[in-house]
Structure 1
Amino acid sequence: MKLNLRSISFWVVLICTFSFTNSVSAQKKKISLKDSLDNAFDVSDWVIEAHGFIPIPYIITEPALGYIGGAIVPVFLTPKTPYIDSVGGKRKITPVGPDITGGAFFYTANNTWGAILFRSGTWKKPRIKYRMATGYADINMDFYRTFQNVGEQKFEFNFKSYFFHAFGLKQFKNPKWAAGLQTLLLFTKVGYAGTVPDFVTPKELNSNVVSVGPIAEFDNRDNTFTPNKGIKTRLDTYWSNNVIGSDYNYGKINFFINAYKPLLPNLIGGIRLDGQQALGTAPFYLLPYIDMRGIPTNRYQGQADVLTEAELRWDFNRRWSLMGFGGTGKAFDDWSEFGEADWAYSYGTGFRYLLARKFGLRMGIDVARGPEKWAYYIVFGSTWLK
């Protein structure tokens, strides 16, 4: 995978955006693609006034999926007016992120493909944030296991899955705090060429996962897409049981905290802490794994994982930024093994362009190096979006 392919895709975003605007040129109100503050290219007014979409061509460089592939992701943004509250006798204005509607079709070099529809937004009157996604995926993916006297071995699987995921969060009077429920429905058929490995049970070859669980969140970031300051933290769980129609009885606990702080007027620091814990016997393809730039999906997997990642964003002018980041994590099967488990490291750099100033949306490219390979990413907003 070459960096120039990613660069081409980034500029295709801008070209496609400009081209699609021609379809609304017949409207009475002329919509500019230049920001009134600096006369630079900006799609804020077009998204707000023309109800346009941002067509994101995405180059997939995930090593577990064949190193190269592509996706088309049209994203519609619908602005929302802020909450206006009275706290302690004072008028308080709290921004509300835009509703986001989109879809995706993807295909990779190892014949992985799929289609997804997604929606996230806010029902303002009851103060409920929600997110939902559904789709089908035919995935060819590598998993790794280490065996005594043999060492590490790679196994190539095929997964045919229908899925639905959704959550709803009721915001409290202070909308920074929210709590609610989430659900996951996953219907999967697993294929393997040859004798099925011992770590895969017969049940896992064709099974249904039905999970529900509570979720709690705190979010005081100043921006949904590319924050400059604030914290987002979430604790959520999944519980899967035969009683609700699942083929599995297991639990999973997830926790993360993403924090941002201006270190200088034009230097933004960010730090991420993330951890997962599986309880009981989860299907092998849903076990926790280290999820960081530069590290293949499911490359380091276990009953639990922890990781931390830090990044710096230098806004060297109003529109353009340079990125630097690095992190480490480990996956293991039992906390007694934590000290013996190896740390996996990654680091990299990238750039951002302020594509929609009124939404605080930056977009760009990251290049990252993990323990084994380089990887490249087109970033829409933040890589830590959850």
Structure 2
Amino acid sequence: MMNRKRHIKKLLLLCALFFAAACFAQENKKPHISLRDSTDGAFDLSDYIIDANGFVPVPYIITEPALGGFGGALIPVFIKKRPPYIDSIKGEQKITPIAPDITGGAGMYTVNGSWFTGLFRSGTFVKSRIKYIAGGGLGSINMNYYRTIPDKGEKEFEFNINAYTATLQAIRRIGYSHWYAGLKYFFVSTDVKYKGGGDTPVFVKPIEYNSIVSQLGAIVELDNRDNVFTPDRGMKLHIDGIRSDNFFGSDYNYWRMNYYTYMYRPLTKKLIGGLRIDGQQTFGDVPFYLLPYIDMRGVAANRYQGKADILSELEFRWDFYRRWSIMLYSGAGKAFDEWSDFGSAKWVLSYGTGFRYLIARKFNLRMGIDLAKGPDTWAYYIVFGSNWLK
């Protein structure tokens, strides 16, 4: 069993390296293309992405406290622009914009020895009006989890989680509307080791040290945003219900619901407001490393967990000079086990600022850096497009 897993890991690593090498080789064969925008002469990757099938190498500095506080990642992202499609339903024709195809890889390493490598793709089967997402990867993550122990208060527990994972999602557009519906599948196989001293934590069940999670569920989604990277207006509303079951090959039986909405609106010509509301709910026997947690800038991953969570973030983007923008944002959330505990659960607050640069005007793609303060620490993030990209 262990030899098979080692072979799988080696194969996936070789595939990732081959993928990256092929992409760089393809890019080097293309003729020179200007990196200046013809409209304002500023640095811009639009023509490079469109005409040379170029990629955007997204560097990422990892400051996640639960992963050791420092690390790095490189995410080469390839974007293919898709022309509008003349759709036809019952004899009625309509020009339909198509989101770009996005293909990428990821490689990560942090100072506490965590690493991850993976591949992903999102695209559209145009004639079928189906949007899809596919991805997978493997890694070894050293992660801290927190629990409140009677008479001792909050305690930190360190684990190593070796995992390989895969996800598939396909949603179909309903008529000419902005509504979609479809299915999602998620798989992860994990080997968990407790790295702290003393006795094994009581909140970890024996099965959780070596197990498989296999989930299948349904999705309903509304998406009328004007852009998939850095929207200026519109909203995305998402609701899904996922079942983990022995029938799908899982070692667990439980339900998981996720609901969220992102809303964008121009407040003035140069000021864009954004609102995020995000919540998760689980029912049944959930492994501790997959419990919902508060996911906000400035808050350590898995720092605040429960069987349910809900949070909200408000942000403003001020396009103050040419391609440059300033960000201001703040958020609040709670994690709890039962809704009856909501009132007594601790509010987790964060706030911060940052900047963006319009790096690809024809895609309305902005990149930048955010600096955020949570209840325990400061953190900074390199942002590709939007911080809200679920």
* Matched letter for residue 352 of structure 1: R
Q: Partners in 2 of 1:51 and 1:65 — Cα distance? A: 34
Q: Partners in 2 of 1:184 and 1:85 — Cα distance? A: 31
Q: Partners in 2 of 1:159 and 1:22 — Cα distance? A: 36
| Partner-residue secondary structure (3-state), 1:34 | coil
**Correspondence for 2:373:** 369
Q: Partners in 2 of 1:36 and 1:252 — Cα distance? A: 49
1:298 and 2:308 matched:
no
Q: Partners in 2 of 1:228 and 1:38 — Cα distance? A: 21
Residue pair 2:27, 2:53 contacting (<8 A) in 1 also: no
1:356 and 2:357 matched:
no
- TM-score if structure 2 supplies the norm length? 0.90
Aligned partner (choices 326, 341, 358) of residue 322 of structure 1: 326
Runs of 4+ in structure 1 deviating by more than 4 angstroms, as ranges, are 19-22, 85-92
Aligned partner (choices 15, 19, 23) of residue 28 of structure 2: 23
Aligned partner (choices 340, 350, 358) of residue 336 of structure 1: 340
1:264 and 2:279 matched:
no
**Correspondence for 1:35:** 37
Residue pair 1:288, 1:303 contacting (<8 A) in 2 also: yes
| Partner-residue secondary structure (3-state), 1:385 | coil
In structure 2, runs of 5+ residues without a counterpart are 1-23
Residue pair 2:27, 2:54 contacting (<8 A) in 1 also: no
Q: Partners in 2 of 1:379 and 1:62 — Cα distance? A: 14
* Matched letter for residue 51 of structure 1: N
Distance 1:120 1:145, change over 3 A: same
| Partner-residue secondary structure (3-state), 2:297 | coil
Q: Partners in 2 of 1:189 and 1:140 — Cα distance? A: 12
* Matched letter for residue 46 of structure 1: Y
> What does 1:57-76 correspond to in 2, within 5 Å?
57-76=59-78
| Partner-residue secondary structure (3-state), 2:340 | helix
Aligned partner (choices 263, 286, 289) of residue 285 of structure 1: 289
* Matched letter for residue 23 of structure 1: N
Aligned partner (choices 54, 57, 68) of residue 55 of structure 1: 57
Report the alpha carbon displacement of residue 118 of structure 1 after superposing the two structures with TM: 0.5
Q: Partners in 2 of 1:215 and 1:33 — Cα distance? A: 39
| Partner-residue secondary structure (3-state), 1:46 | helix
Q: Partners in 2 of 1:143 and 1:252 — Cα distance? A: 20
| Partner-residue secondary structure (3-state), 1:315 | strand
Superposed CA RMSD in Å reads 1.9
| Partner-residue secondary structure (3-state), 1:48 | helix
Percent identity, please. Answer: 57
* Matched letter for residue 278 of structure 1: T
| Partner-residue secondary structure (3-state), 2:208 | helix
Report the alpha carbon displacement of residue 165 of structure 1 after superposing the two structures with TM: 0.9
Aligned partner (choices 217, 222, 232) of residue 218 of structure 1: 222
Q: Partners in 2 of 1:352 and 1:310 — Cα distance? A: 17
> What does 1:144-223 correspond to in 2, within 5 Å?
144-193=146-195, 194=197, 195-223=199-227
* Matched letter for residue 288 of structure 1: P
Equivalenced residue count is 365
Aligned partner (choices 56, 79, 82) of residue 77 of structure 1: 79
Task: Indicate the larger mover: 170-179 or 147-156.
Answer: 170-179
Report the alpha carbon displacement of residue 93 of structure 1 after superposing the two structures with TM: 3.6
Q: Partners in 1 of 2:329 and 2:26 — Cα distance? A: 35
Residue pair 1:24, 1:50 contacting (<8 A) in 2 also: no
| Partner-residue secondary structure (3-state), 1:358 | helix
Residue pair 2:27, 2:52 contacting (<8 A) in 1 also: no
- TM-score if structure 1 supplies the norm length? 0.91
Aligned partner (choices 324, 345, 350) of residue 346 of structure 1: 350
**Correspondence for 2:316:** 312
Distance 1:20 1:45, change over 3 A: farther
Report the alpha carbon displacement of residue 52 of structure 1 after superposing the two structures with TM: 0.9
| Partner-residue secondary structure (3-state), 1:204 | helix
Q: Partners in 2 of 1:265 and 1:87 — Cα distance? A: 37
Q: Partners in 1 of 2:368 and 2:124 — Cα distance? A: 27
Map Cα deviations across residues 261-297 of structure 1 (whole Å, 9 max, x no partner).
0000000000000000011110010000000000000
Q: Partners in 1 of 2:25 and 2:42 — Cα distance? A: 18
Map Cα deviations across residues 167-211 of structure 1 (whole Å, 9 max, x no partner).
000112225111100011110000013421000000000000000
Report the alpha carbon displacement of residue 86 of structure 1 after superposing the two structures with TM: 7.1
Q: Partners in 2 of 1:73 and 1:107 — Cα distance? A: 12
Aligned partner (choices 214, 237, 240) of residue 236 of structure 1: 240
| Partner-residue secondary structure (3-state), 1:118 | strand
Report the alpha carbon displacement of residue 104 of structure 1 after superposing the two structures with TM: 0.9
Report the alpha carbon displacement of residue 95 of structure 1 after superposing the two structures with TM: 2.3
Report the alpha carbon displacement of residue 87 of structure 1 after superposing the two structures with TM: 9.3
1:95 and 2:97 matched:
yes
